Amino acid sequence: MVFHVSIAIVAVLVLLAGLVPGPFNAAMQSALGVVVHGAGWMYLLVVFVTLLFLLYLAFGRLGALRIGGEDAEPEFSRVSWLSMLFAAGMGIGLVFWGAAEPISHFVRPPEGLAPQTSVAARAAMRYAFFHWGLHPWAIYALIGLAMAWFQYNRGGRGLVSDMLEPVLGRHHAGWAGQVVNIAAVVATAIGVATTLGFGTIQIAAGLERVFGIKATQTLQLATIGVAFVLYMASSTSGVERGIKWLSNTNLLLAGLLMLAVLLLGPTGALFDTFTTTLGAYVNQLVTMSLRLSPFSESTWSFDWTVFYWAWWIAWAPFVGAFIARVSRGRTVKEFVIGVVLAPTLLGFAWFAVFGGAALHAQIFGQADLVQALANGYETVLFVLFDSLPASMLLSVVALVLLIIFFVTSADSAVLVLASMSTDEAGDPPLRRRVVWGVAVALIAAALLVAGGLQALQGLITIAALPFALLMLLVIVSLFRVLDGEATRLRRERQQQRHMMQTWVQREMAQQARQYAPAPGAPAPRAPGSPDGG
């Protein structure tokens, strides 16, 4: 039922967005404004509570529990695991926003700061760290850990509704659970198709920048066609081959590109940017986490922070399900550190290099990135490369990285969509993966032809509101099962210690009886006594 109903809902939404994009977009933007401004505080609070809960799990008494049981072994090496997390969770977004977001904040800074000043530059880097740091990865980690635990430790099916079993009881497998699963599948499908469309536009712009090919609609559709072939080939080959290999390649290329910009750019200034921004981020973490503007008319926090949090929440079922799929055998502590802290530090390094280089080039007159921003976010990175040596090589590597990130995100999404719309646990059947792969490509192509991407972007943000409330229920459910598991293991260990102590006492008593003198026998003489020799 989840599969058929989800396909039907997605088809209706895409028809509306494609056939009447104007009215549909107006309705979505109106609803988006109501949701974001009316419930913005809730997004901030839920995400902050999620981060605190994950840190408690990692460094508290529940951190030693293991996904899949005490004897479970990790399926992937730590490097492959981290690279798949990075590629599925943030990859293409980091390439797109690494230089563009700090420049955007520099032009329109938060906190009422004067634009295009050194103070605005520092705030721009701090908020770039904030938007791509601990908070989004905490969202992904919560859903991923819950899905993994209920699937591998409690025999679940790998569905979103399984996470609510401690709260809903048997109803998690009934109509209430089906509604949750359908909502998760629809949100994932729309989000993937929307990102596929925006990614296609960006790749086409990169091809025009690098090779001079006009970024026409024909090129965009051809890009979708090529991407479809690549991500279906990767998806059908399985996680162990296609997705793993592409993710490892991604991490290597991303590292090489970042190292190249670090060495070719203002190296010392970029290291200064990293340390200064990291210190400011840690110092103002709580303030930024809960900051809105109740006494001013500024919409900056709503336009950026609240929007980002809603976007991450809406994507959490997709990314969380994929993280769960590749995380069997990890302890809770290792999972949280690997999913939250490690990618966060990689993201910080990325923004320090690309964002720092962009701001340095703008402030010291090496490139006009403010004008590039006015021409579109997707052009900022390539204009930055024009100010560095080997600009064409850097642009080609970035374009290849975009394409591979694009493919890994799409094939991960196809795997997750097929899993979430299948009742059986484990890898979904190939036929269902092919259906979702075709559906996602057709949705993106239809929307590019008819318009409507912006409307669906607003729609998925609105859909994040019930998922924000769902996250609070997931926190309660996950704590209950982890606490119960810890209590069970503690009792088992106490029983084992008690049994061992009983056995030792019994053995000692038996030996004492064996060597005790018979009744009426003389007591043994101590060695060295006059008659004892």
- Structure confidence at residue 240 (pLDDT): 54
Q: What phi and psi, each to the nearest 5 degrees, are found at residue 292?
A: -130, -170
Greatest mean pLDDT among 135-144, 236-245, 435-444, 461-470 lies in 135-144
**Window from 30-34, 80-84, 300-304 with minimum mean pLDDT:** 80-84
> Token match 């190296």: residue?
267
Greatest mean pLDDT among 160-169, 172-181, 378-387, 420-429 lies in 378-387
Tokens linked to 358: 């962009």
Residue 482 has pLDDT above 80, yes or no: yes
Q: What is the pLDDT of residues 193-237, one digit of tens each?
A: 777 777 787 788 788 877 888 878 888 888 888 888 887 776 666
What length does the chain have? 533
Helical ranges in 60-160 per DSSP H: 78-89, 91-97, 100-107, 118-131, 134-152
Give dist(CA 250, CA 245) in Å, integer.
9
Tokens linked to 305: 């922070």
Tokens linked to 282: 């840690």
Q: What is the pLDDT of residues 120-154, one digit of tens each?
A: 999 999 999 999 999 999 999 999 999 999 989 88
Tokens linked to 106: 């520099």
Q: What is the pLDDT of residues 516-527, one digit of tens each?
A: 665 665 555 555
**Window from 25-39, 270-284, 373-387, 392-406 with minimum mean pLDDT:** 25-39
What's the whole-number average pLDDT of the chain? 84
Tokens linked to 422: 């299948």
Q: pLDDT tier at 532 (50, 70, 90 boundaries)?
A: very low
- Structure confidence at residue 322 (pLDDT): 82
Q: What is the pLDDT of residues 91-113, one digit of tens each?
A: 677 888 899 999 999 999 998 89
